[in-house]
């Protein structure tokens, strides 16, 4: 019985026989590049214009993976506005709370921030993988991030994704082969 279970368990780790995903067209690659460039540039520009020199940052690393979804996988359920905004905002709330309650046990705060943010995103139908990174940034970020406290939820975790969303709406709908969003809520 145990050997059968173990064999089946290990068999799952072999993976599928489907092969690699199909290559996208050069046009699709260019649209993805263009959108990601403009989206990240817009967040960086707004950050520099309004937040430079006042100990606020609008740019966090998880926006890079949001850009992959928004501009490279526009039809993915994980790239839709509800998921983008909800995933970052809820995960930021979880991350800041974990830092405030558990910063003396950093390993525990880190693990709970990511695990709880995944559970919350699942429960609210806002799963957005970069949200897990946003929760983690709230815990492992610099002293400047920690000083923000719950302001981190607004700047950068709400404003940044809103800028990325605006660019996604403008750029993704320029192409005849794209439509964004698939769903709002």
Backbone angles phi, psi at 74, to 5 degrees: -60, -25
Residue 161: how many other CB atoms lie within 10 Å: 30
For 14-42, the pLDDT digits (tens) are 887 778 888 999 999 999 999 999 999 99
The stretch 141-147 carries a mean pLDDT of 93
**Which residues have C-beta within 8 Å of that of residue 63, sequence separation ≥ 6?**
40, 43, 130, 156, 160, 161, 164
The stretch 126-149 carries a mean pLDDT of 96
% helix, strand, coil for the chain, step of 5: 70, 0, 30
Residues of 96-125 as b/e, b for ≥16 C-beta within 10 angstroms? bbbbeebeeeeeebbebbbebbbebbeeee
What pLDDT is recorded for position 89? 98
What pLDDT is recorded for position 169? 98
Q: In which residue are the tokens 């790239």 written?
A: 79
Whole-model pTM: value is 0.92
- Note whether 73 and 66 are within 8 A (CB): no
- Give the Cα separation of 1 and 50 in Å (integer): 64
Q: How far is CA 30 from CA 24, 27, 44, 175, in A?
A: 10, 5, 21, 10
Q: How far is CA 56 from CA 40, 46, 82, in A?
A: 17, 11, 25
The stretch 123-148 carries a mean pLDDT of 96
């Amino acid at each position: 019985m145990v050997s059968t279970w173990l064999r089946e368990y290990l068999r799952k780790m072999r993976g599928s026989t489907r092969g690699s995903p199909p290559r996208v067209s050069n046009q699709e690659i260019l649209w993805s590049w263009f959108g990601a460039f403009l989206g990240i540039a817009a967040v960086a520009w707004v950050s520099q214009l309004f937040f430079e020199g006042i100990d606020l940052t609008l740019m966090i690393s998880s926006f890079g993976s949001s850009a992959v979804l928004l501009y490279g996988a526009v039809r993915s359920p994980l790239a839709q506005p509800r998921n983008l905004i909800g995933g970052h905002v809820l995960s930021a709330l979880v991350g800041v709370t974990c830092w405030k309650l558990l910063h003396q046990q950093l390993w525990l705060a880190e693990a709970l921030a990511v695990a709880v943010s995944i559970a919350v995103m699942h429960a609210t139908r806002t799963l957005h993988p970069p949200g897990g990174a946003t929760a983690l940034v709230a815990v492992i970020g610099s002293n400047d991030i920690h000083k923000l406290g719950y302001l981190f939820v607004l700047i950068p975790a709400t404003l940044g994704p809103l800028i990325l969303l605006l660019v996604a709406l403008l750029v993704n709908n320029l192409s005849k082969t794209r439509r964004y969003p698939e769903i709002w809520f």
